[in-house]
């Protein structure tokens, strides 16, 4: 039986928060753990005198907690300031540490912009080559397509574990095995997966993996990169030798402690079956919307192979931004971009073959630790009412999923 966490003060009285994939509220227990390292335990963890002792021990404990959550060793965890930095570190580090004149990188079309932009920068600055693999209609990479794209200059393959918009879960083990058969490293941005599903870096066979604190109830600015023992990377920051001499600079102990505390809570949640509770609420939300809007609700992405907290739908005849504008009691997102009032379809959905007009109808609803059944009822009613009030087409005869 799962147990609900203590109430979160920041969510009291506000709209129903269904945008956990964008960021999570910081768990009050995480705040409690990190506060002493902003006040009393101010020392430099590299100092040998008593003021450095507690920060050093706290840093060691935090590293161990993050490692335990993902099945790694503590000395394989390098703390960073963001997931984007960890992604940059993995790609740039592998490319520059290789002996290739023109290192070849492989990623996929629905990858996070931090990966895609880093690949473009490596092409511009370091003569790298990049192959971007297509995805199928569920947003998944075909391992056979990866095998065909690998060549003797491939140094790294980077494919995310779970998509932030659709929740699609990639076949990580199969993709990592394909990369290794060609002698390439495999990096996985697991920002959306860590803490939401059971995850073991050994079972997945990855060499590098990104962990992001603000996706798992820690503070922003707390993240880490798993670097498998034996993997050579060019440092991301040069200097004093901190973090295995891969990321110099005095460690931000408070944020590392926050990430460690969040990792411990996530491990407890997974052991307690909290992800099953969240999956049940997600499916109830989906069913309520299908019942309230018969024939009009489409699921974007896999029906089964996805994160337990993520629901990406399109409602026939209504742009997603208009649905959310008409439902101020719900805090969610569309996944599309808005520039100067002009909305453009999500590149993730269009890469999956979704028609651009249909892609503009998308609404991403992502649940989390504090989501309740009462909130699901409120959100479903608000979204359905907004969609009905702004309907611009006749009801579709398309089936639902």
Cβ atoms 330, 379 nearer than 8 A: yes
SS (H, E, C) the chain: CCCCCCCCHHHCCCCEECECCCCCCCCHHHHHHHHHHCCCCCCCCCCCCHHHHHHHHHHHHHHHHHHHHHCCCHHHEEEECCHHHHHHHHHHHHHHHCCCCCCEEEEECCCCHHHHHHHHHHHHHHCCEEEEECCCCCCCCCHHHHHHHCCCCEEEEECCCECCCCCEECCHHHHHHHHHHCCCEEEEECCCCECCECCCHHHHCCCEEEEEHHHCCCCCCCEEEEECCCCCCCCCECCCCHHHHCECCCCCHHHHHHHHHHHHHHHHHHHHCHHHHHHHHHHHHHHHHHHHCCCCEEECCCCCCECCCEEEEEECCCCHHHHHHCCCCEECECCCEEECCEEECCHHHHHCCCCHHHHCCEEEEECCCCCCHHHHHHHHHHHHHHHHHCCCCCCCCCCCC
Q: How far apart are CA 127 and CA 114, in angstroms?
A: 19
The residues near 58 (Cβ < 8 Å, ≥ 6 apart) are 37, 41, 45, 253, 256, 257
Residues in the chain: 401
Specify whether 188 is catalytic.
no
The two beta strands, 337-339 and 330-331, are: unpaired
The catalytically annotated residue of 148, 245, 337, 338 is: 338
Task: Give CA 96 to chain center in angstroms.
Answer: 25
Q: How far apart are CA 157 and CA 178, in angstroms?
A: 10
Cβ atoms 203, 190 nearer than 8 A: no
Q: Which residues are catalytic?
A: 338
């Amino acid at each position: 039986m799962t147990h609900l966490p203590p109430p979160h003060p920041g969510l009291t009285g506000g709209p129903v928060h269904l945008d956990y994939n964008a960021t999570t509220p910081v768990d009050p227990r995480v705040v409690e753990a990190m506060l002493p390292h902003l006040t009393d335990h101010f020392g430099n963890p590299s100092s040998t005198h008593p003021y450095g002792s507690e920060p050093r021990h706290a840093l060691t404990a935090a590293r161990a907690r993050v490692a335990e959550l993902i099945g790694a060793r503590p000395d394989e965890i390098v703390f960073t300031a963001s997931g984007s930095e960890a992604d940059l570190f993995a790609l740039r580090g592998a490319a520059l540490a290789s002996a290739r004149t023109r290192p070849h990188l492989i990623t996929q079309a629905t990858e996070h912009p931090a990966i895609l932009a880093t690949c473009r920068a490596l092409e511009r600055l370091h003569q790298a080559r990049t192959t971007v693999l297509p995805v199928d209609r569920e947003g998944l990479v075909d391992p056979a397509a990866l095998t065909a794209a690998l060549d003797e200059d491939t140094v790294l393959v980077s494919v995310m574990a779970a998509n932030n918009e659709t929740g699609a879960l990639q076949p990580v083990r199969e993709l990592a095995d394909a990369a290794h058969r060609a002698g390439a490293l495999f990096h996985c941005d697991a920002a959306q997966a860590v803490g939401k599903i059971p995850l073991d870096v050994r079972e997945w066979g990855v060499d590098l993996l990104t962990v992001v604190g603000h996706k798992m109830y820690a503070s922003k600015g707390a993240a880490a990169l798993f670097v498998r023992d034996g993997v050579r990377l060019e440092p991301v920051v040069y200097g004093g030798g901190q973090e295995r001499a891969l990321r110099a600079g005095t460690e931000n102990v408070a944020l590392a402690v926050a990430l460690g505390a969040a990792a411990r809570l996530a491990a407890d949640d997974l052991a307690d079956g909290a992800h099953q509770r969240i999956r049940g609420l997600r499916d109830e939300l989906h069913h309520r919307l299908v019942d309230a809007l018969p024939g009009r609700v489409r699921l974007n992405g896999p029906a089964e192979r996805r994160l337990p907290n993520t629901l990406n739908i399109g409602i026939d005849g209504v742009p997603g931004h208009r649905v959310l504008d008409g439902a101020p009691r719900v805090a969610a997102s569309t996944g599309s971009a808005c520039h100067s009032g002009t909305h453009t379809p999500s590149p993730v959905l269009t890469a999956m073959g979704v028609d651009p007009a249909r892609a503009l109808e998308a609404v991403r609803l992502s649940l989390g630790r504090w989501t309740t059944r009462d909130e699901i009822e409120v959100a479903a009613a608000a979204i359905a009412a907004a969609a009905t009030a702004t309907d611009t087409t006749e009801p579709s005869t398309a089936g639902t999923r």
